[in-house]
Structure 1
């Protein structure tokens, strides 16, 4: 029987913000924005853990709002690059708060600092976004007054967590079981319509992660939201981290820097993330990832470090 965490209760989503339980978005100062994310088991990985992929949409979303609201151009913007770091454990049912501050801007570019804290005040993620104003029209283009509106907080239903992993299994065996369909891929992989394959490389174990796009993954331009791109790539890197882990070894996606080169359409096509090991060490595994469209077009590049404990 194929392992599955809860496909029977799959929700129909309308956009990345609601899909990831994000709400209470508000302008909090002359250059600052805040928002909350209600976590749940729907965003857990194959280990039943909340890791960096679960926070990527919140990070990207608030990373662009200060520049969009206060930048001089008043035009829609995208992120050219995100740099995220993670630290410490996050409870599956925690409610985290993200804050973003526009550090600098000119007529075309901005730089925003982002922090995400748990309900106890512990900063669990921090980093920066590089903002770029774009001239293309948005499908939804709110006015400046609308950008200051506060969205209602969003609740998220829970699903059963994946079965516990036998600590005697090496990481490669765990990921191979997921690839073969005999172990649950985890709720966040199901949310992202992902499937995983194990690929051997000279410096370690690599991963190919394929995700099928859906309209809810789109941004205001009708192409994939940068936070969803980052979540897909980060989950691929997470699987690579586990595939190179010794039996019983815990890990976390510690750092991720992703450049957005193009944004894919979200009409049911597939995107493919190839993760290659750069150096697999005892405490840190460094990997590189590329996302391509189904026709081979390069969409993003990423470098990530996986921390082993």
Structure 2
């Protein structure tokens, strides 16, 4: 069987916020910003799970807004680095609330803490963003930031079916091989990212290559790829690497991601590729290194990730 797109696919997204169900962005006092994210099957992976990749756009976007708002006319900025840490599982249909607070800043740099909680108030993701002011321009000043409207729901978040259950006797490497060959569904979030995965042979552990065909909706206000999209793509690549190194019947979660942004790629249909290799693949935790490059080989991003096995 070769998996085809679902007939109930959600409408085409217009930007990263609508694509990932993010809305109700509100600027509070003392350099704080809050926003909601409505989850749903569209953001699930090949296991039918919500993992760190689904939260990356919310985390990154919130991580930049307090510093952007710190200047009298706004401080156009990008992230130099994100450090994200998951704190347990998140329900497929949960509604998350993210809060970002500017910890320090001057006219060039800022540091922002981001916390994301579930609908029951459980902290599910926390970490920091390092902000850097840039001398870039954009067409219109976002006085009303992207995502300030109502949080998307309906087909935007639920217009996909969850993948079928995975046979617990299958080793992780075989699961990824089946996905790469089209025998097994890659998962709705991979479809949303326009991604495809393949195994890379390594001496002792499995590596992966994750390739994404970019789209204009993935862009930021400067017209290049939104940092949250870069983080989501790299995180999903690392998730597949975690799966590829899992023993049969072993569950896993992408526990930590530290990603540095070096350049932001164009979003006009060219491809970006993430190659993930294992630093150490243990029974309880595995550490991976990931490198994103453009279609021309230009280095775009580097990251390290820890995968937790249970």
TM-score by length of 1: 0.96
1:245 has 2:243 as partner = no
| Structure 2 equivalent of residue 132 of structure 1 | 132
The separation in 2 between residues aligned to 1:139 and 1:167, in whole angstroms, is 51
Q: Report the CA distance shift for 1:4/1:104 in structure 2 as closer, same or farther (over 3 A).
A: same
Aligned residues: 307
* Residue range with higher mean Cα deviation, 250-259 or 26-35: 26-35
Q: Report the CA distance shift for 1:173/1:2 in structure 2 as closer, same or farther (over 3 A).
A: same
User: Does the 8 A contact of 1:73 with 1:108 survive in 2?
Assistant: no
* Residue range with higher mean Cα deviation, 134-143 or 41-50: 134-143
The separation in 2 between residues aligned to 1:123 and 1:147, in whole angstroms, is 25
The separation in 1 between residues aligned to 2:267 and 2:291, in whole angstroms, is 18
| Structure 2 equivalent of residue 153 of structure 1 | 151
User: Does the 8 A contact of 2:219 with 2:267 survive in 1?
Assistant: yes
The separation in 2 between residues aligned to 1:133 and 1:44, in whole angstroms, is 34
Instruction: Measure how far apart 1:3 and its partner are.
Output: 2.1
The separation in 2 between residues aligned to 1:209 and 1:150, in whole angstroms, is 32
Instruction: Measure how far apart 1:294 and its partner are.
Output: 0.4
1:104 has 2:104 as partner = yes
The separation in 2 between residues aligned to 1:71 and 1:204, in whole angstroms, is 48
User: Does the 8 A contact of 2:56 with 2:232 survive in 1?
Assistant: yes
| Structure 2 equivalent of residue 62 of structure 1 | 62
Instruction: Measure how far apart 1:278 and its partner are.
Output: 0.3
Instruction: Measure how far apart 1:59 and its partner are.
Output: 0.1
Structure 1 unaligned runs (5+)?
A: none
Instruction: Measure how far apart 1:138 and its partner are.
Output: 1.5
Equivalent residue runs for 1:163-202 within 5 Å: 163-202=164-203
- Per-residue CA deviations over 1:157-177 (Å, capped at 9, x if unaligned) read 211100100000000000000
| Structure 1 equivalent of residue 296 of structure 2 | 295
- Per-residue CA deviations over 1:241-278 (Å, capped at 9, x if unaligned) read 00000001000000000000000000000000000000
- Per-residue CA deviations over 1:11-70 (Å, capped at 9, x if unaligned) read 211000000000000012221000000000000000000000000000000000000012
Q: Report the CA distance shift for 1:136/1:44 in structure 2 as closer, same or farther (over 3 A).
A: same
> Structure 1 stretches (4+) deviating beyond 6 angstroms?
none
* Residue range with higher mean Cα deviation, 255-264 or 21-30: 21-30
Instruction: Measure how far apart 1:236 and its partner are.
Output: 0.3
TM-score by length of 2: 0.96
1:21 has 2:25 as partner = no
The separation in 1 between residues aligned to 2:146 and 2:295, in whole angstroms, is 38
The separation in 2 between residues aligned to 1:10 and 1:26, in whole angstroms, is 26
The separation in 1 between residues aligned to 2:148 and 2:10, in whole angstroms, is 27
User: Does the 8 A contact of 1:6 with 1:187 survive in 2?
Assistant: no
Structure 2 unaligned runs (5+)?
A: none
- Per-residue CA deviations over 1:205-247 (Å, capped at 9, x if unaligned) read 0000000000000000000000000000000000000000000
- Counterpart secondary structure, 2:201: strand
Q: Report the CA distance shift for 1:148/1:288 in structure 2 as closer, same or farther (over 3 A).
A: closer
- Counterpart secondary structure, 1:275: strand
| Structure 2 equivalent of residue 49 of structure 1 | 49
User: Does the 8 A contact of 1:26 with 1:149 survive in 2?
Assistant: no
User: Does the 8 A contact of 1:75 with 1:135 survive in 2?
Assistant: no
**RMSD after superposition:** 1.5
Instruction: Measure how far apart 1:200 and its partner are.
Output: 1.4
| Structure 2 equivalent of residue 123 of structure 1 | 123
* Residue range with higher mean Cα deviation, 151-160 or 46-55: 151-160
The separation in 2 between residues aligned to 1:71 and 1:277, in whole angstroms, is 42
The separation in 2 between residues aligned to 1:212 and 1:141, in whole angstroms, is 28
1:305 has 2:271 as partner = no
Instruction: Measure how far apart 1:88 and its partner are.
Output: 1.0
